[in-house]
Amino acid sequence: MSDNDHGDDSVHFTRATPRRHLALLMWTHMASATRVMPARRRLALVAHDNKKADLLDWTRFNRELLAGHDLVATATTGRLLHDELDLDITCLRSGPLGGDQQLGALISAGQIDVLIFFWDPLEPQPHDPDVKALLRIAVVWNTPVACNRASADFVISSPLLHGSYEALIPSYGEDEPDRSHVA
């Protein structure tokens, strides 16, 4: 009997199902739609205070690539990048004043394609719950996240960042809005 011989859409696993296939089967079953990301991506740039210099240096190195995309940032980070690099950036509120939540809302609405968030793992933040919520919602909606310079280098240099890309949109239930039309 195959996985779908039960007459419904559920996925059935046995102890014999190889572990490496379980995650893929669960993800494929959960994903119900796709959305095509435009070639000009919408990138969110965020950095905690102790990481702003690192993000500024990374952004300076990648300025020409970033200029080809729509950039969104929390207030302080966005002003710093705009003033130092003369990039067009849409600035939201400061992270602790709701900017992280604004970014989460944009991700949920399918309006952010990539999150570059240089967060400080060694310094407690007054808005730690907002930071965790932002990272969580990016994972929920299958949004690529780079949390340090190395992962940001991999994301910015990926051939998948350039040109259109069809992203899987996970389905979490019948009551959620349809995001497949969001581009």
Which residues are identified as catalytic? 100
Token output for 71: 């950039």
Q: Which residues of 120-139 are buried (b: 16+ CB within 10 A; e: fewer)?
A: eeeeebebeebbeebbebbe
In three-state secondary structure terms, 168 is strand
Q: Distance between CA 120 and CA 39 in Å, rounded?
A: 30
Mode of pairing for the β-strands spanning 114-118 and 89-91: unpaired
